[in-house]
Chain A
Amino acid sequence: MTALYVLDVPENTAVAKVAAEDPEVRVGRVGPYFEITADGAIVVDRRATGCRHAVWYSCVAGVAGGRIVQHDKDALRVDPA
């Protein structure tokens, strides 16, 4: 399972919301973090989040069971290990 952790602060909530639009993706919580999990890849479209660049490039708190293969102006993609 792939897990992406994002701190729950106002700037980051759109990242979790956009990730949750994928039916294969689940968004839970661990303390003050969103825990975004999937059996396969997790993909978040940057433009859909509306995050400005400084927020977008610093929104990832942790990655378990996978690795980031794309984090650019278009998308964040975490593939399973």
Chain B
Amino acid sequence: MTDEGSARLEHKVRGVDHTAFPTFDPAGTVRFYRDVLGFPVVHSICAAGWGPEDHPDFIHFFFDIGNDDRIAFFYYFGLAPVHAHERGDAYAGFGPEVPEFFVRSRHLAIHVDDQDDLLEYRRRLDESAWPVEMQIQHETIESIYTHDPNGYMVEFTRAMRPVTPQEDLDANLTIDALLDVVAEPEPTFGKLLARKAELIVERAGPWESAQRDLARVEEAAR
């Protein structure tokens, strides 16, 4: 694409091995992920405290979220919650000065194949203590949301259509425009759209020609 780094560096990674979060409620966490959602427990570590700090003994446990990817939790014996804020999650709390959109920005989105599967997870959640809070059609995906027993926002999402090649071009032009405007003082959305318009004029025509040439080469190879 237009990004020099990704063109030069071979892309060898294979998705999420695991993403990890602390929990003060292992019972609720197991009920939510294993018993309500049906995510198998696939790994756990029982570890005695060690290391330079006064590290507590802990259990590190993993659930399969599909595709052999995993969500993992740390339960620390004897550790009290680290904050007393009502807003936030087990990891971090937020006072009234932090806007709600910011608090709700961080989340884990789990992919499902189609609307039937999305609605199946909706059914499982709605029958539990953690019902779906929102179901939304975004630009090209449809999602359901809830918060797990630790306050972490969890999304399930399905694509309403495949991503098209021009959307990859557009994403790269957006990022290049973003880097240009944040390199200058007082970046704004208006400045980004102006810079992106310049990049579209410069690159979108040549990109389309290159796509056509590529299609011809592929056709000839058949």
Contact = CB atoms under 8 A, between A and B. Distances in A.
Interface residues of A, number: 22
A31 B197 contact: no
B136 interface: yes
A68 B166 contact: no
Contact of B169 (A5, A11, A32, A64): A32
Contacts of B207: 31-32
Contacts of B198: 62, 64
Given A63-B193, A63-B194, A64-B194, A9 B201 contact: no
Given A32-B207, A58-B139, A67-B190, A9 B200 contact: no
A6 B200 CA distance: 10
B139 A11 contact: yes
Given A31-B200, A64-B198, A11 B170 contact: no
A32 B204 contact: yes
Interface residues of B, number: 28
Contact of A54 (B139, B193, B200, B204): B139
Contacts of A63: 190, 193-194, 197
B167 interface: yes
A52 B137 CA distance: 8
A54 B164 CA distance: 18
A33 B207 CA distance: 11
A73 to B, nearest CB: 16
Interface string B176-217: 000000000000001001101111110111111000000000
27 contacts: A3-B197, A5-B196, A5-B197, A7-B167, A7-B170, A9-B166, A10-B161, A30-B201, A30-B205, A32-B170, A33-B200, A33-B204, A54-B136, A54-B137, A61-B170, A61-B193, A61-B196, A62-B193, A62-B199, A62-B200, A63-B190, A63-B193, A64-B194, A64-B198, A67-B190, A67-B194, A68-B193
Interface of A: 3, 5, 7-11, 30-33, 52, 54-55, 58, 60-64, 67-68
